[in-house]
Amino acid sequence: MVRDCVRSVEIWNAFVNPKDRALFFYMPIQEWIRWNLKRDITFSGVPWNFLFPIACMLIWEWRNKSTKESGFCIPKEPHRVILQQAKTHVQAWRSGGNIEQKIPSTIAWSKPCVGWVKLNVDGALCRRTNMAGCGGLIRNEKGEWLTGYMAKVGTATVIFSELWALFYGLKLAWESGWRKVELESDAKVIINQFKSGQVKSQPLHPICDSIRDLINQEWELSLKHIPREINKCADILAKHSLSSHMGFTILEQTTSFLLKEVSEDAEMMGGSGDPGD
């Protein structure tokens, strides 16, 4: 709907060069998103990987309002509204620093600092059966796979699946011998509670005590929340865990269904400057 309905096509045609339209409109959706976020072009002075998500957001917002609010009308010149909002955001970014440095960090996985490893974890839940699972992977400063895991944990909730993801990931990292670890998860509430210490007085789950014990081991460990789109490798592992056997499985090599995503992350330039961010 964001790309292929008649009104969306009209909006995108205002931005997309005619020679690129065939590729733009017929590419598979996930590949389409990645391709657009990586494009190194500008439109009217606005970087495309900045304008594109704003366009998607507004098209989706207008579509929802037009179906739910009887009095709502899509702007007469929607492409101008999109461009103006994008320019406003660009100006806000520029007032705070270099836009070229800020934009990629919001959309791409970053490698760990030299001497550190990065652990990405995620949980998953089948809404139909309430069966939960989790997955994670550890990569080095070059973005290379070191190890990973999947675990099917049984009937649970979303938040419990995220807690199991955190526990198994920390346990694997510690027992594998790494002592400088950057952990990333898209479970914002959980990460914030463990960082602030609130979980001590408000335990979310019995496994929280074990997680806290792992966090307090003798190692350098940073906990960081990241957007879901950056955590795609862990997300894929977590979803695949739902169709795996019950229990915990260590993955010593990159799984075939994850080769492309791991390679794409490794190709991204740069790394996180401070593991404590």
Q: Of the candidates 79, 105, 131, which is a domain's last residue? A: 105
Tokens coding 240: 């695949």
Same domain, 37 and 61: yes
Q: Does any domain span residue 225? A: yes
Q: What pTM was estimated for this model as a whole?
A: 0.61
Q: What digits encode the pLDDT tens for the residues 48-77?
A: 988 999 999 899 888 888 888 877 888 888
Domain that holds residue 143: 117-267
Q: Which residues contact 197 (CB under 8 A, 6 or more apart)?
A: none
Please check whether residues 93 and 10 belong to one and the same domain: yes
DSSP 224: E
The pLDDT of residue 70 is: 78
Highest mean pLDDT range out of 126-130, 146-150, 246-250, 266-270? 146-150
pLDDT of residue 103: 44
Is 1 among the domain residues?
A: no
Under the banding of pLDDT at 50, 70 and 90, the label for residue 198 is: low
- pLDDT single digits (tens) 31-56: 898 888 888 889 988 899 889 999 99
Residues 220 and 119 sit within 8 Å (Cβ to Cβ): no
**The pLDDT value given to residue 34:** 87
Is 164 found in the same domain as 68? no
Same domain, 54 and 134: no
Least confident range from 30-34, 85-89, 246-250: namely 85-89
What is the share, in percent, of the chain residues with pLDDT greater than 70? 88
Is the same domain home to 132 and 91? no
- Domain total in the chain: 2
What is the model's pLDDT at position 52?
92
The answer, yes or no, to whether residue 100 has pLDDT greater than 60, is no
SS3 146: strand
pLDDT tens digits, 209-239:
899 999 999 999 999 999 988 999 999 999 9
- What is the rounded average pLDDT for all residues in the chain? 87
What are the pLDDT digits (tens) for 114-166? 999 999 999 999 988 889 999 999 999 999 999 999 999 998 888 899 999 99
Report the share of the chain in percent with pLDDT over 90. 52
Please tell me whether residue 58 adopts helix, strand or coil conformation.
helix
Is residue 236 one of the residues assigned to a domain?
yes
CATH number of the domain at 223, please: 3.30.420.10
Whether residues 247 and 192 fall in one domain = yes
User: Do residue 81 and residue 155 come from a single domain?
Assistant: no
- Choose between 102 and 249: higher pLDDT: 249
**Is the domain of 86 the same as that of 150?**
no
Please indicate, yes or no, whether residues 98 and 134 belong to a single structural domain of this protein.
no
- Note the pLDDT tens digit of each residue in 3-26: 888 889 999 999 998 888 888 888
Looking at per-residue pLDDT, the higher value among 94 and 109 belongs to 109
- Per-residue model confidence (pLDDT) at position 10: 92
Assigned domain for 277 exists: no
Which pLDDT band, with edges at 50, 70 and 90, does 204 fall under? low
Residues 84 and 127 in one domain: no
pLDDT of the residue at 148: 98
- Among 60, 82, 105, the domain-final residue is 105
Per-residue burial over 227-264, b if 16 or more Cβ lie within 10 Å, else e, is eebbbbbbbbbbbbbbeeeeebeebeebbeebeebbeb
How far apart, in Å, are the Cα atoms of 64 and each of 21, 50, 67? Answer: 25, 22, 5
Asked if residue 125 and residue 100 are part of one domain, the reply reads: no
150 and 259 co-located in one domain:
yes
